[in-house]
Structures are given as C-alpha cells and as structure tokens.
Amino acid sequence: MTETETAAAPPAAEAPTGRITAIRGAVVEVRFSGPAPAINTRLLAGPRGACVIEVATLIDRHTVRGLVLNPAERVALGMAVTDTGGPLQAPVGEGVLGRMIDVFGHPLDGKGPLENVQYAPIHRPPVPLTRRRPGGEIFQTGIKAIDLLSPIERGGKAGLFGGAGVGKTVLITEIIHNMVAEYEGVSLFCGIGERCREAEELYREMRASGVLDGAVLVFGQMNESPGARFRVGHTALTIAEHFRDAQHRDVLVLIDNIFRFVQAGAEVSGLLGNIPSRVGYQPTLGSELGALEERICNTDAGAITSIQAVYVPADDFTDPAATHVFSHLSASVALSRKRASEGLYPAIDPLKSASKMLTPGTVSDRHYDVARAVRRELAEYEALSDIIAMLGLEELSEADRATVARARRLERFLTQPFFTTEQFTGLPGRLVPLEDTLEGCARILSGALSHLPESAFYMAGTIAEVEARAAEAAA
C-alpha cells in the first residue's frame, strides 16, 4: 500500500462546515464559516452525505463554486455541506478485478460491495521524466490494416479517429476480443459518455468469453452529469496506476470515447461561466487533456498501453478536440466514411493512418518495405481515380492498369471479418498474424495473384483462404 492509499474512504467531519447559497443547474455555491476548502476537494451534502460535490473554483476566502457529480440527489438552498478534507477517491487493488464500477467506485454489476480494496485520490501528477522508460515493442492486434500500416506500441497511446457511424466502437470491441484473451496483464475499459446498451453488451460479451476476471470496467454513462463524465477517466487511470506501480503489472487501458471527456469539460466550463474558446471549446482544453493523457506512460515498474476511440465532429480532422488528441498519440488509425460506404470494413484509411513505430529501426526491414509499397500503390490508385471516373479504365496505360488491379486487391485484402460482428454478417471472425499479412501483401504486390478475382480477396483472412475461395469459385 502506498502513502497516498488508505484502507477505506476518509470519514466525513462530524459537523457541517458550510451551506449552499446558490444553485445553477449542476453548479452550486457553498459558503463556509471558516476558510474555504482547496480546489478538487470532495464535499458531501444532503441526508447521509448522498450528494457529492467537487470544488471547481474559489470565489472568495469563504465561498466556493462546485460541481454536483450526482445531480439525481436532491439539493436545496441552505442545505448543510460537509468538507471531507480530501479529493475524490477511487477503489484500487485486487478487489476491482472482474467488476463494473462508476466514477465513485460504486458497483454497477449487482454483485454486492467491493472487497479487498484500498482507496486512492484520483488527482495525481504525471510520472516524472526521470522515471519513464521508452517503449519500442509492437502490440499485435490481429487486425491486418492496423498491424501493417499503423502498428501500436506496447506502452504507447493509439487513437481510433472517425465520425459517427464509421465503426470506432466495433473496432475497439474487436481489439478487446483479440487482445484481452491473450494479454497477460490487467485490462481496463473506461467508458466515457457510453450508452447503457453498449455498457451492458460489453459486460455480457466479456463474461461470456471468460476474460472478465482479469479486467476492470469503469463507466460514466451518457445520462450522468458532466462532472461525473469529466472525472471517470481519472478514476480509471488511478486504478491502472496502482496495478502498474504497486503490483508491477502491465495494464491495457481502452477508452471509448475520449471526445466525450472533452465534451464534458466544455459543459463543465460553460456551467462555471468561463468564456468559450475556438469552436466553442473550453479555454483549458489543452491543459485538461494533457493532465489526463500524460498519466499514461511506461515506468520501470510496468507499462500502461492505451487505445482510445476519438469521435471526430462532422468528419473534420482539423477540429480542436481531434488535433489536441493527435499530439499525444504514438499511433493514429483514421476511419474513412468513403471506405465505409464502399463496404470496406474495417473502414481504415491507409493513407491517413500513421504510427511512429513504422520506422526501419523499430519494425523488421520486410515489414517496413511492404508497408511503404502498399501505401505507395494505394496512393497511386487514388491519384488515378479521377481519371478513371472521367475517362474509364480503358484509357489508362498498361502499367497504370496493373497498378489499379494490384491496389484494388490490396484494398479488399485489408478488409477482415470480425468476431464481434459474426451475428450480423454471418461470416466467422479472423485473427491474422502479422507474418501472414506481410506474406499476402507481398504476393499481391509482386503481381503473382493478379489472375485471381477481386471478390476472392474481400473479407478473407490469410492469402491461403483467398486461394481456396478462388479455386472453389473456379470449380
């Protein structure tokens, strides 16, 4: 147990120390008879301290403005408020494994209270640079387009960028299916602004696949207050840091959706009366996102690997929320609405996705060469697409027609049936090792498979499956 952890939540003071003097939505002003508590202090109001308030700003020496984190509880003018003397606390330890909890650490799975846990404050500074350890190992997902063109770093941060309905949640659910079963460390799923349907489905799927016992699920759902959605990410990272620092275990943190964190911050900022910045976002967007993201890192004790879904408003990748998240990531996977409309799933845009891992010194020479060749082939095909649309394929030179044939086969080979969509597509899922992906792409680039029909490459796993399909169709 570290110095910042206690065996139970700190007891509240016996006598109330303040009164609610103003209420504006989910924001209240509290007047204290003595000195005002510090920012981020947890206050309790209402009968039995059921209403939780977090101090957000100080108005004067005796008055604070705070966020009501569970506004379903009734608040009223003149209500007594108790200063707990400390920040919000999150449960940490072995007792949270296999459980679904909310921002306060309360169970959501109906299995009774948590046992064998300690409590730690959710607000912590990032690990100093002197204690950080650089990564360098690839984290394979079994998804061809990601492993080939945008490999994820073990101990790094990867983002899945896309607009509404292009497959971010499906992709992160498939990553959970592929990686959590094989992952030796702790898996932690953080749902920020999740729909209750998605939370229930994820819990049921993880329980059915037998991986729930090594995982923790933390949810701040869409119907909760902006303050709760804004703090649920800090609760999740506090749990992850305990497993890394106290138990020396690697942690896989999956966040869906980090944009909801930014959105909750904008709501909180508006409620507190701050003047909005560009495109209506809060002026503190960069510092708030940095305070969360910089806690995800490697140390000598262990590694935290994070994969985050990022909603891109109106498919605008220049949106301030998307650009701020971009700057923290080691790998970015961009999802394309155009590819989704063509039925090329996962709808990963190979030309916009990137990873700092895709360098000759980090991946093998073969991986680097194949990935560059695939990207070059697809870029040439995109450059020819306008000519094809206006004049037709017949007007291209022989070399360009061969490029188009290879690129179209590569596009279809990089599609893949998912385990999590079997009930909708009727196609059994495929987990493809990186070596099989490299072998298939290399053979397509060499032109050795140009005689096979394009349809044989669509929604296939390995190149052996493609050849078997083609032979079956020919027979």
d(CA 435, CA 64): 59
d(CA 239, CA 185): 13
| Bridge-based pairing state of the strands 304-311 and 251-256 | parallel
Angle 82-85-88 from CA coordinates, rounded to 5°: 90
d(CA 213, CA 457): 37
d(CA 189, CA 217): 5
For CA atoms 23, 29, 31, 34, give the dihedral sign: positive
Which residue numbers are catalytic?
A: 168, 194-195
User: So what's the pLDDT on residue 3?
Assistant: 44
Cα 311 to chain centroid, rounded: 10
Q: Which amino acid is at 69?
A: L
Pick from 195, 239, 233: nearest CA to 216: 239
Angle 215-221-227 from CA coordinates, rounded to 5°: 110
Q: In this structure, what token pair is assigned to residue 314?
A: 């109106």
User: So what's the pLDDT on residue 75?
Assistant: 87
User: So what's the pLDDT on residue 5?
Assistant: 52
- 319 in Cβ contact with 265 (< 8 Å): no
d(CA 46, CA 30): 13
Q: In this structure, what token pair is assigned to residue 293?
A: 């993201």
User: So what's the pLDDT on residue 185?
Assistant: 83
277: phi then psi, degrees, rounded to nearest 5? -100, -150
* Residue 269 CB neighbours (<10 A): 23
Q: Return per-residue pLDDT of the chain as tens, 475 residues.
A: 444 455 444 444 454 589 999 998 889 999 998 899 999 999 999 888 889 999 999 999 999 999 999 877 788 999 999 999 899 999 999 999 999 999 999 999 989 999 999 999 999 999 999 999 887 788 889 999 999 999 999 889 999 999 888 989 889 888 888 877 777 788 999 999 988 888 888 888 888 877 888 899 999 988 899 999 999 999 999 999 999 999 999 999 999 889 999 999 999 999 998 999 888 899 999 999 999 999 999 998 989 999 999 999 988 999 999 999 999 999 999 999 999 999 999 999 999 999 999 999 899 999 999 999 999 999 999 999 888 988 888 888 899 999 999 999 999 999 999 988 888 888 999 999 999 999 999 999 999 999 999 999 999 999 999 999 999 988 8
d(CA 350, CA 293): 25
d(CA 99, CA 214): 9
- 96 in Cβ contact with 116 (< 8 Å): no
The CA-atom distances, in angstroms, between 346 and each of 173, 279, 350 are 12, 30, 11
Q: In this structure, what token pair is assigned to residue 414?
A: 């990089």
- 22 in Cβ contact with 37 (< 8 Å): no
Question: pTM for the full model?
Answer: 0.88
Pick from 333, 375, 414, 382: nearest CA to 162: 333
